[in-house]
A and B are shown apart, each in its own frame.
Chain A
Amino acid sequence: MASPPVLPKLVGERVKRREDPRLIQGRATYVDDLKIAGMQHLAFKRSDVAHGRIRSIDVSAAEAMNGVEAVLTGAQIAEMLAPMPIGTPFPSPPHRAVAMDVVRYAGEPVAVVVASNRYTARDAADAIVVDIDPLPVVVDPEAAMTGQPTVIHPDFPNNLAVALVPSGTGVTPDGKVDDTAIDKAFADAEVVISQRMMNQRLVPNAIEPRGVVAHYEPGKGSMTIWSSTQNPHILRTMIAAMTGLGQDQVRAIAPEVGGGFGAKINIYGEEYVAAAISKRLGIPVKWVEDRSEAFVATTHGRDIIGYVDIAAMRTGKVLGLKLRLIADIGAYNMLLTAAIPTLTMLMANGTYAIPAIRTTLTEVFTNKTPTDAYRGAGRPEATYFLERAMDMLARELQMDPGELRRRNFIAPDAFPYATQMGAVYDSGDYGKALDLALEASGWKDLVVERDAARKDGRLVGLGLAMYVEVCGLGPSSSLPTGGWEHSQVTIERDGRISATTGASPHGQGNETTFAQMLADQFSVPIEHITIHHGDTGVVKQGIGTFGSRSQAVGGTALHLAGGKVKAKMARFAAALLEAHEDDIVFENGRIGVKGSPASARTFAEVAGYAYVPVPLPPGLEPGLSEGAFFEPANNTYPFGCHISMLEIDRETGEPKLLKLVAVDDAGHLINPLIVEGQIHGGLAQGIGQAMVEEAVYNDDGQLLTGSFMDYALPRATDFPRFELHATVTPTPVNPLGAKGVGEAGTLGSTPSIVNAAVDALSQFGVTHIDMMLRPEKLWRIIQGGQA
């Protein structure tokens, strides 16, 4: 018999994404593609003013319109829905899905229309007359902290959502604070750098705005809810709780999801309202966010001020770091809002062994759209503050920025490394990443090039930034949802493989990477494998996709479930082949006995036998389907080094990114092609924050950058060719050694670019520039310097 074709090993290979053809050919199904007979459409009437008391809402004209089924105000919605829960243990003011008496940001819903089609619904929403008594508006968090000119939530004096939480050296878990070490660090220091830095507000801007279809079937007493979400299982839990149904009675489905970037973790008022209305009226309803709504109604990201003080010796040795954080969280606490800046505190060490650190965190309500996770979620902020401060220190000491960093790195033999911020870094070799970045970028040559350009009068700068982030979230002790993932792997009767994952992808490519893993594990063709996700009716359990956790946690659960099925399958094969299960080998689509390939059976034959087991081997149940939960003992801590070269037009202040070299260490890579794609996307957003993106509000609380005409997204033409390199430091936290890479690109790029911009303009005496690098801002520095 001819031996079967040899199947190539796929893990570690650049396999093209299997999900792409349908996505780029318009053959995928998104929420807005769903149609159900009898389905009605929702439109939300939203407040135009940022702060005010609702005097009256006149819905009569809207109700009278042809095709309008119902118009509901906040009071009516409140009869169906309790205030929305949050997912963090912080105190939080009541937050209604539809405002009842006070509106607190422009875009907050005040009424909802149910109508026969989307156009009628929108026309009816326009016909609702809302009379609002304006209240004073506050958009500046530092002003808001004074309690003037307004207090947004009566139970939160001075608008403090979270008041001054300390963390770091000398802070005990019960909140006792001992400042001896940090005070000494600053007393002993030869150099102290202090800077206020703004990490500006960003709009996440997924290509697909949010959307939801809720279908309550009164006859069955159960609900199906489709939503463009990153975590259908959390959605299911929350919808069940809010609508009074059991989790067994709610099925949540995330069909194709066109990007999330953290903003689709939160469970939104519109989702609860759709579910509640469907249940009340007994009809399916759909709501799809339009782009203008997405700008104000979907959570924003970042918006945190850091007062950074760094104490060091002239040798470059850093003694201490103070980081006073003021986070502008907007008008309400959302699912994870309050926790995001705690990740900034957690990562205050960066890649350095800093003897003493004191961070404090204050979170402030303002009359703006609420913030929540945005790609990187808290860690880009930490990286930015620290890496800018390190750069300022290097400049002050006239030391090479790489060298300064090297002198402070956590040593490669110090891992696992427990920081005083509460993190335990799993593994790392920061010097190696720095070395590779310096070498790959040709740093020394770049310095020569930069200096030569300066002699010609050009404003060229170089910037470098290290980063380490916390990924693979994370043991259940750190996540109120639970920190595990689940997978079920089933060998079907025909020998094909169905596998589920609770890590619901929305661009991460799990359908490819997870199939690669199973293909290798079972030695079957990847075409024989389907990865199911995003449907709680199919995927038994799960948490979701955020915090760069899919591969490290979800991938591991899959690997474990696969291992269980494989062991069982080996026992069936052993029975069939009259061999010992330890001698069974899976090879090229066949299962045989070690050393005697001729006796091997096809994978499908063994699978078929497992489902019609005559005779049933003793001690075995029929079938091949096993599930596994994986709870990591710790997070993973990927890291890297990004280097940028940037030129600023002397006459206009326009910055141009000339070069970007990224070294990223995410441990073992399942698919380098997908990893690079993730890094490219992250870099685009990191560059966007540094150079072109900024949500700007006026003093009345109106978002001035409420469309793509005014809110810039970086374009391909804004980028140099990304030069990517990797070091590989596996994590001991999971058997795959994989760390996570979904957010990494946003961490190092941003500070490296601002560092380069400051370098380019250093001749004008500037030591810090707040983002974004608006041409006029840079032009003013140049003008001031010349004057």
Chain B
Amino acid sequence: MIPTTFEYARATSLGDALQKLKAAGEGGRLIAGGHSLVPLMKLRLSEPQVLIDISRIPGLSGIDEHDGRIIIGAATVHHDVASSAVLQARCPAVAEAAASIGDPQVRNRGTIGGSVAHADPSADMPAVLLALDAEIHIEGPDGGRVVTASDFFLDLFTVDMRADEIIASVQFTPVRSAAYAKLYQRASHYAIVGVAASLDVSGGAIASARIGVTGATSHARRLINVERALAGQPLSTATIESAAQLAGLELDEVNADIHASAEYRRAMVQVFTRRALSAAMARS
């Protein structure tokens, strides 16, 4: 539990962070809440030479609403997301997912940007961002770019981001009729399976649906077949029950570990898809 030697620098602005990151080269690493990085360092699975702390950059944390879009700064800690009045009212799924993360210490330190960048296969936020069709706003040496969540999560701990880039914010249009449901791993409180469902309801029917699942596979992904089965159907328990049956079937290479076999995880994807959809429906 003792990391290798490293240097530490605190960035004062995004530009400063980008510059420090570039100057540090290969051995440079951003640190936000440190709740994924520091455990790896203590086990010496990660041995960065320079840590660039972005957690106190002015303007990088906070939750804003602009022109109907919600903007969450990358350095916003889970606790602030969980307790945000705006999110609780306008997009409770995000708040409830944040509230389900780890324990109070983790939520007071860990950030949404770090969670997204780290892309743990059992992290909660990726599933929710998929369901909300969120955008990841990234800054780099050559300026900014925007990647949708669907394109961002590529593989195990792998995202569409280069080592010299920084996530600045995540942005999405709030959806009230969305929900997150999670089966807890009892030790870490990460998700064995977590499902976020978002429904676009009009006139008693589901216009469209988006579902993100985490914990089941190498990285968070959408359940396209379930989404299709819901689209255009009347909003009802029967619709949800039958669409949820499809959940899990389309997943190949389901994760297995001491906490849950692949078979169980697959079955839980179905259960939690139904639960998330039911909760989303209840909010519509």
Q: Does B183 contact A (CB under 8 A)?
A: yes
How far apart sit A779 and B263, CA to CA, in the bound complex (Å)? 11
- List A contacts of B5 (CB < 8 A): 119, 123
Name B43's contact: one of A292, A774, A780 (CB within 8 Å). A292
Name A630-676 residues within 8 Å CB distance of B.
651-652, 654
Name A281-321 residues within 8 Å CB distance of B.
290-293
Closest Cβ–Cβ distance, residue B212 to chain A (whole Å): 19
Nearest residue, chain A, Cβ from B274? A651
CB–CB A776/B187 < 8 A = no
How far apart sit A774 and B5, CA to CA, in the bound complex (Å)? 40
Closest Cβ–Cβ distance, residue B180 to chain A (whole Å): 16
Q: Does A2 contact B (CB under 8 A)?
A: no
Q: Does B44 contact A (CB under 8 A)?
A: yes
Nearest residue, chain B, Cβ from A119? B2
How far apart sit A775 and B261, CA to CA, in the bound complex (Å)? 11
Q: Does B4 contact A (CB under 8 A)?
A: yes
Closest Cβ–Cβ distance, residue A746 to chain B (whole Å): 19
Closest Cβ–Cβ distance, residue A773 to chain B (whole Å): 10
Q: Does A496 contact B (CB under 8 A)?
A: no
Closest Cβ–Cβ distance, residue B54 to chain A (whole Å): 24
Nearest residue, chain A, Cβ from B43? A292
Closest Cβ–Cβ distance, residue B153 to chain A (whole Å): 21
Given known contacts A292-B43, A704-B258, A776-B264, A652 and B188 CB-to-CB distance under 8 angstroms:
no
The number of chain A residues with a CB under 8 A from chain B is 28
Closest Cβ–Cβ distance, residue B244 to chain A (whole Å): 11
Name A776's contact: one of B1, B190, B260, B271 (CB within 8 Å). B260
The number of chain B residues with a CB under 8 A from chain A is 21
- List A contacts of B261 (CB < 8 A): 776
Nearest residue, chain A, Cβ from B261? A776
Name B163-206 residues within 8 Å CB distance of A.
183, 186-188, 190
Name A779's contact: one of B2, B190, B264 (CB within 8 Å). B264
How far apart sit A779 and B260, CA to CA, in the bound complex (Å)? 11
How far apart sit A780 and B267, CA to CA, in the bound complex (Å)? 11
Q: Does A397 contact B (CB under 8 A)?
A: no
Name A118's contact: one of B2, B264, B267 (CB within 8 Å). B2
How far apart sit A335 and B190, CA to CA, in the bound complex (Å)? 38
Closest Cβ–Cβ distance, residue B213 to chain A (whole Å): 15
How far apart sit A704 and B257, CA to CA, in the bound complex (Å)? 10
Name A701-715 residues within 8 Å CB distance of B.
704-705, 708-713, 715
How far apart sit A758 and B202, CA to CA, in the bound complex (Å)? 47
Closest Cβ–Cβ distance, residue B274 to chain A (whole Å): 9
Given known contacts A119-B2, A119-B5, A651-B271, A711 and B264 CB-to-CB distance under 8 angstroms:
no
How far apart sit A644 and B271, CA to CA, in the bound complex (Å)? 28
- List A contacts of B2 (CB < 8 A): 118-119, 122, 290
- List A contacts of B271 (CB < 8 A): 651-652
Nearest residue, chain B, Cβ from A126? B44
Main secondary structure of the interface of B (DSSP, over half): loop
Name B183's contact: one of A123, A654, A704, A708 (CB within 8 Å). A654
How far apart sit A665 and B211, CA to CA, in the bound complex (Å)? 54
Name B188's contact: one of A654, A696, A708, A775 (CB within 8 Å). A708
- List B contacts of A651 (CB < 8 A): 271
CB–CB A696/B258 < 8 A = yes
Closest Cβ–Cβ distance, residue B210 to chain A (whole Å): 23
Nearest residue, chain B, Cβ from A121? B2
- List A contacts of B183 (CB < 8 A): 652, 654, 775
Nearest residue, chain A, Cβ from B192? A775
Closest Cβ–Cβ distance, residue B192 to chain A (whole Å): 8
- List B contacts of A711 (CB < 8 A): 187
- List B contacts of A652 (CB < 8 A): 183, 268, 271
Annotate A673-711 by CB proximity to B: 1 below 8 A, 0 otherwise. 000000000000000000010001000000011001111
- List A contacts of B43 (CB < 8 A): 292
Annotate B32-76 by CB proximity to A: 1 below 8 A, 0 otherwise. 000000010001100000000000000000000000000000000
Nearest residue, chain A, Cβ from B4? A123
CB–CB B264/A709 < 8 A = no
Closest Cβ–Cβ distance, residue B207 to chain A (whole Å): 28
- List B contacts of A774 (CB < 8 A): 259
Annotate A746-787 by CB proximity to B: 1 below 8 A, 0 otherwise. 000000000000000000000000000011100110000000
Name A710's contact: one of B1, B258, B264 (CB within 8 Å). B258
How far apart sit A708 and B271, CA to CA, in the bound complex (Å)? 27
Closest Cβ–Cβ distance, residue A756 to chain B (whole Å): 18
Closest Cβ–Cβ distance, residue A710 to chain B (whole Å): 5
Annotate A111-144 by CB proximity to B: 1 below 8 A, 0 otherwise. 0000000110011001000000000000000000
How far apart sit A652 and B259, CA to CA, in the bound complex (Å)? 13
How far apart sit A122 and B39, CA to CA, in the bound complex (Å)? 16
Most buried by A among B44, B258, B260: B258
CB–CB A779/B4 < 8 A = no
Annotate A694-738 by CB proximity to B: 1 below 8 A, 0 otherwise. 001000000011001111110100000000000000000000000
Closest Cβ–Cβ distance, residue A772 to chain B (whole Å): 9
CB–CB A705/B258 < 8 A = yes
Nearest residue, chain A, Cβ from B3? A119
Nearest residue, chain A, Cβ from B193? A652
- List A contacts of B4 (CB < 8 A): 123
How far apart sit A711 and B186, CA to CA, in the bound complex (Å)? 8
- List A contacts of B188 (CB < 8 A): 708-710
How far apart sit A654 and B272, CA to CA, in the bound complex (Å)? 13
CB–CB A290/B1 < 8 A = yes
- List A contacts of B103 (CB < 8 A): 715
Closest Cβ–Cβ distance, residue A313 to chain B (whole Å): 42
CB–CB A710/B267 < 8 A = no
Closest Cβ–Cβ distance, residue B42 to chain A (whole Å): 8
Nearest residue, chain A, Cβ from B275? A651
Name B187's contact: one of A122, A292, A293, A712 (CB within 8 Å). A712
CB–CB B1/A291 < 8 A = yes
How far apart sit A293 and B43, CA to CA, in the bound complex (Å)? 11
How far apart sit A651 and B1, CA to CA, in the bound complex (Å)? 38
Name B1-43 residues within 8 Å CB distance of A.
1-2, 4-5, 39, 43
CB–CB B267/A779 < 8 A = yes
Closest Cβ–Cβ distance, residue A738 to chain B (whole Å): 37
How far apart sit A83 and B268, CA to CA, in the bound complex (Å)? 52
- List B contacts of A654 (CB < 8 A): 183
- List B contacts of A708 (CB < 8 A): 187-188
How far apart sit A119 and B2, CA to CA, in the bound complex (Å)? 7
CB–CB B186/A692 < 8 A = yes
- List B contacts of A123 (CB < 8 A): 4-5
CB–CB B268/A710 < 8 A = no
- List B contacts of A712 (CB < 8 A): 186-187
How far apart sit A291 and B43, CA to CA, in the bound complex (Å)? 10
Nearest residue, chain A, Cβ from B187? A712
How far apart sit A708 and B186, CA to CA, in the bound complex (Å)? 10
Most buried by A among B39, B103, B268: B268
- List B contacts of A775 (CB < 8 A): 183, 260
- List A contacts of B1 (CB < 8 A): 290-293
- List B contacts of A118 (CB < 8 A): 2
- List B contacts of A779 (CB < 8 A): 264, 267
How far apart sit A692 and B189, CA to CA, in the bound complex (Å)? 12
Annotate B239-273 by CB proximity to A: 1 below 8 A, 0 otherwise. 00000000000000000001111001001100100
The 4 A-B residue pairs with the shortest CB-CB distance, nearest first, are A290-B1, A712-B187, A712-B186, A122-B2
Which residues from chain B sit less than 8 Å from chain A, CB to CB? 1-2, 4-5, 39, 43-44, 103, 183, 186-188, 190, 258-261, 264, 267-268, 271
Which residues from chain A sit less than 8 Å from chain B, CB to CB? 118-119, 122-123, 126, 290-293, 651-652, 654, 692, 696, 704-705, 708-713, 715, 774-776, 779-780
9 A–B contact pairs at CB < 8 A?
A: A119-B2, A119-B5, A692-B187, A705-B187, A709-B190, A710-B259, A711-B187, A715-B103, A776-B259
Given contacts A119-B5, A710-B259, A776-B259, list 20 more A-B pairs with CB under 8 A: A118-B2, A119-B2, A123-B5, A290-B2, A292-B43, A651-B271, A692-B186, A692-B187, A696-B258, A705-B187, A705-B258, A710-B187, A710-B258, A711-B187, A712-B187, A775-B260, A776-B260, A776-B261, A776-B264, A780-B264
